[in-house]
Amino acid sequence: MVCLIVEGKNDVKKIKEVFNVGIDFIMLDGVNFSIAKSNEIQTLLENNKTVFIMTDPDKAGDSVAALIQKRFPTIKRISVIPEKARILKAKGYKYGVEYCSRKYIHSLLFKHLDWAN
């Protein structure tokens, strides 16, 4: 079983549109990397689960990914290309995993997860 660390429920929803089985999730509730989330990750790693970070390609997503990787250096981040994860809103572009196309999500996970084919 693979676990993806994501920022929120919309990310989970989008990823489940592409792969609805075989992935567990840790939702950070935005960019909140709490002690409880750290403990969840630690437990997964102790149980030999494969864990990846898949946060938004923005300053907040980069920051929380860096915090997680500082605490857990073996966890790799699945990098999302900003242009593939953006949407135009009233105040400019907004970036998020939930804005990625299904095809792009599939290609990212296919590249990083052995079983995703």
Task: Report yes or no on 117 lying in a domain.
Answer: no
Domain span at 19: 2-112
**Is residue 95 included in any domain, yes or no?**
yes
Provide the whole-model pTM. 0.92
Q: What is the count of structural domains for the chain?
A: 1
pLDDT in tens, 1-37: 799 999 999 999 999 999 888 899 999 988 889 999 9
Cβ proximity of 87 and 93 under 8 Å = yes
Task: Give the per-residue pLDDT at 28.
Answer: 96
Distances (CA, A) of 70 to 22, 49, 78: 27, 19, 16
Cα 39 from Cα 42, distance rounded (Å): 5
Q: Say what percent of the chain tops pLDDT 90.
A: 79
Q: Is the pLDDT of residue 117 over 50?
A: no
Encoded tokens for 72: 């857990």
CB under 8 Å to 102, separation ≥6 — which residues? 14, 17, 18
